[in-house]
Structure 1
Amino acid sequence: MFFQIACNSGNSYISLLKSMRFYIDNKECDYIFFRKAVNISDDFIQSGFITPEGLITKNSNPKLFNQYSKMVSKNKCQYEMVTFLSDEMKNIIELLSNDDAYIEFAYSEDFYVLPEIEIDKRTLKSLNFYIDFGVKYIINKI
């Protein structure tokens, strides 16, 4: 699974993606597509479970998180599993989108034909902003 971000090739914050070890996947016209394989050791994409007590993540409660993960693999978990971006990744995306610059990002295996959802920076910074696998999120759509 990969995480991909596309931005204008002249964006002054591209170095932030390079510092997080994103690689250039494709250069098309004025846009650069950065991609990174998502590993368990990476913490820019995290999973959690929405429970009545709040969001349970691997960092907040590892024992309960692992228990729920096992239940998901057996289709027996009663709580919704969600995927979200770390605050650091949200900040980088927000910086990339400064000055109303076009940004798109997605978490997927295949990036050719994905449903698109247009969001704004306020949505991105929301505590309950979760990303779906196989969906392209667009900020400052042209």
Structure 2
Amino acid sequence: MNLGTLLDQQNAQKQTPDYYDILRCSPQSSQDQVHREYRLLALQHHPDKSPEGSSSQWDAIREAYEVIGNDLKRAQYDRWRMSKLPLPFKQWVRSQTHAVHWKFDYQRTIQSSQKSWWDDRARIDSSDDVYQRFRNYEI
């Protein structure tokens, strides 16, 4: 790993703040604990509740709660944290939700130059030596 890769990784990690630190809870915290911490921080930093609360702090708290307060997004965030990928979380989520749609042409069929077993069935059943035909891979 070269120096440029390490710097890119550190910059990507700095672009996404640790949501658990913002909400003052741990990754093992329950959803109730996360909600309680969010409510306390909302009372302190919400622009309507506190005139001295800055909007940047409130935006960070709200963004952290949107991710950590939702079970699905929290699982994605935890998976991203463990992966230590050099991508910001939002970019990683966008890359995970990309869907590939395949188009199938249902008009295509597999055509064989040989007759099928069903076509030869009447002839095979009428044969006296079915065992011999089976051994010769004719059936």
Normalized per residue, the structure richer in helix is 2
Q: Which has the higher contact order (CA 8 A, sep 6+)?
A: 1
* Larger-gyration structure (1/2): 2
Report the TM-score when normalising by structure 2: 0.22
